Structure 1
Amino acid sequence: MPGSQISVTLSTASVFPRRASYGFELAARSGYDGMEVMVWSDPTTQDATKLIQLSDKYDIPISSIHAPSLVVSQNVWGVRPARKLERAVELAEQVGASTVVVHPPFVWQPRYASVFADHVKVLSKGTGITIAVENMYPWRRKNRDYLAYLPHWDLTTQHYDATTLDLSHASTALQNSLDVATALGDTLRHVHLADGTGSAKDEHLVPGVGNQPAREVIEHLVKRDWNGDLCVEIGTRKADSPAHREALVYESLAFARAAIAGTPAPRLLVAEDEAKHHHPTDAWT
């Protein structure tokens, strides 16, 4: 079956501010293939024993770990970025995840940035864990762009063995996700499935309601016989009820499954209604 090797997973970030345990329960009930654990202040996301218990309880594997490299997780596991990545890899080994997603260093981390690529390569080779560096975006204020990541936010100008494509980040960077996916070629090992409208905010909309070519990206991967994870990473923190949040998570899965199978896109009733009233200030950051 075309595309059958592509797994559709759910990031625990998609249920923020709810805890990771709720993400596992919702993913299992919705029919996702696995989980990505975003490591942040939720203690469960930092605890291999608790994560394994959740995985066993809901019979859903943990396929990837997102290192605590966001602004909001700068104090998780200390402040040394190299050690934070190492701990994320250790956690992946403990829970059986094959991939660790990491952002490039911030502009205020020039010393680490100078050794980042080598650190990623050595750590991945030594453990067998795929460390997929994620595309980012310029920070934009008053129509002016600022370089926030080193050596750059644009992965197509860099050289990593494994990369992650985030469609919402591409939108914020005013890039076309299909162009980025094509340029990354065989280094593309992981995808954060979302959408955006080109706002300076990182929106993480349900795929199919923004202006990124989300379906075309998936079709491109299917044609390539790609075998990575399509990880749904959407923002639901503005959801006004559990049913609302669950509908957004389910519609994202339905969109992905249809694109993989080459069947008509489902009508995203809840997401489309939300998109009509969406404002960039609602963005997940």
Structure 2
Amino acid sequence: MNAAITVVWWNINPSPGPATGRIYARSYPMKTGMFTCGHQRLPIEHAFRDASELGYDGIEIWGGRPHAFAPDLKAGGIKQIKALAQTYQMPIIGYTPETNGYPYNMMLGDEHMRRESLDMIKLAMDMAKEMNAGYTLISAAHAGYLTPPNVIWGRLAENLSELCEYAENIGMDLILEPLTPYESNVVCNANDVLHALALVPSPRLFSMVDICAPYVQAEPVMSYFDKLGDKLRHLHIVDSDGASDTHYIPGEGKMPLRELMRDIIERGYEGYCTVELVTMYMNEPRLYARQALERFRALLPEDER
């Protein structure tokens, strides 16, 4: 880990809106997280070990088989996750159950399918709570080509209302991730996020930005900071080709990442940045996790590395 350096930043308004001119100081570098999805063909201990040895500050648990599928955790697997976090002294920054349609998608299918998806997400929140994760992260996957907008948003509001009530009851933060238009037709940009937050104004509901999503839509990444304020809870950092939802290691795509990270730092972002390598680099997850972290830190000012 790197020593903490005091830097100065411009604080964002605690409510959605433009940045203010107030100056504050912080005494730690940018915090990084590793996503375990890329390790899914290896035992999950490899992910914890690599995150610790390579110098990541925390770990984001992917909730799919064979590692951390919520029903498997409930059946006893949660003990291993908690033990690994303790053994490797690796904070679990969040738990991300697989909600993009295989097999769970709360936005598509009949009532039985919707109910099954919501029940799984509630169980995921329970497991996130037990593993001491900072949040549960979900997405609104594709709602189908023939579904009209009023039905889409009505279903989303009903789903989020039920999930947020559960989150409030158990004390778990729920993060709604906007997806690219290649993945979904529901919540894909900052205005969609604002709409969702307005539909369900829960103190436990937040959002985040995977920077690939705005980039492929020619939407400024920093517009999320302007519009969401303190409802922006988390970042997924990747590189992008600008024409697909493919997640690249920093430096392999077209994004002006160095300049973007300077803007993010100047806004005073205090959360984690998960370097989100998914399935493209599964053949050598440790090597690419090392390369991704080194490249990400090279993008930062020296006092933030």
TM value normalised by structure 1? 0.76
Pick closer, same or farther for the CA change 1:106–1:188 going to 2, 3 Å: same
The code of the aligned residue for 1:121 comes to: C
Tell me how far apart the structure 2 counterparts of residues 71 and 50 of structure 1 sit (CA, whole Å). 27
Residue 254 of structure 1 pairs with residue 294 of structure 2: yes
CA contact (8 A) 1:35 1:64 kept: yes
Tell me how far apart the structure 2 counterparts of residues 178 and 154 of structure 1 sit (CA, whole Å). 12
2:263 to 214, 217, 220: 220
Structure 2 residue runs without a partner (length 5+): 1-5, 8-25, 106-112, 145-150, 198-204
Cα shift readout 1:198-235 (whole Å, capped 9, x = no counterpart): 123x2111123322233334323322322211111114
The structural deviation recorded for 1:12 is 0.3
| 1:210 counterpart residue number | 253
| 1:81 counterpart residue number | 117
* 1:93-172 correspondence runs (5 A): 93-108=129-144, 110=152, 112-139=155-182, 148-150=184-186, 152-159=187-194, 160=197, 161-172=205-216
CA contact (8 A) 1:134 1:166 kept: yes
CA contact (8 A) 2:100 2:140 kept: no
The structural deviation recorded for 1:18 is 3.3
2:82 to 52, 60, 74: 52
| 2:229 counterpart residue number | 185
CA contact (8 A) 1:10 1:231 kept: yes
Structure of higher CA gyration radius: 2
| 1:8 counterpart residue number | 32
Tell me how far apart the structure 1 counterparts of residues 59 and 298 of structure 2 sit (CA, whole Å). 20
CA contact (8 A) 2:40 2:66 kept: no
Cα shift readout 1:54-112 (whole Å, capped 9, x = no counterpart): 2122221211000221233539xx86222122112111110011111110243059574
Tell me how far apart the structure 1 counterparts of residues 169 and 227 of structure 2 sit (CA, whole Å). 27
The structural deviation recorded for 1:249 is 1.0
Residue 34 of structure 1 pairs with residue 58 of structure 2: yes
The structural deviation recorded for 1:32 is 0.7
Tell me how far apart the structure 2 counterparts of residues 19 and 149 of structure 1 sit (CA, whole Å). 34
Tell me how far apart the structure 1 counterparts of residues 155 and 212 of structure 2 sit (CA, whole Å). 26
The structural deviation recorded for 1:253 is 1.7
Tell me how far apart the structure 1 counterparts of residues 59 and 135 of structure 2 sit (CA, whole Å). 11
Structure 1 residue runs without a partner (length 5+): 141-147, 267-285
The code of the aligned residue for 1:32 comes to: Y
CA contact (8 A) 2:38 2:281 kept: no
Tell me how far apart the structure 1 counterparts of residues 163 and 128 of structure 2 sit (CA, whole Å). 15
Pick closer, same or farther for the CA change 1:44–1:259 going to 2, 3 Å: same
The code of the aligned residue for 2:118 comes to: A
2:48 to 7, 20, 24: 24
| 2:98 counterpart residue number | 68
Tell me how far apart the structure 2 counterparts of residues 164 and 19 of structure 1 sit (CA, whole Å). 28
Aligned partner of residue 84 in structure 1, secondary structure: helix
Tell me how far apart the structure 2 counterparts of residues 17 and 170 of structure 1 sit (CA, whole Å). 30
The code of the aligned residue for 2:82 comes to: I
Residue 175 of structure 1 pairs with residue 219 of structure 2: yes
The code of the aligned residue for 2:289 comes to: V
Percent identity, aligned pairs only? 18
Pick closer, same or farther for the CA change 1:35–1:204 going to 2, 3 Å: same
Aligned partner of residue 64 in structure 1, secondary structure: strand
The code of the aligned residue for 1:99 comes to: Y
TM value normalised by structure 2? 0.71
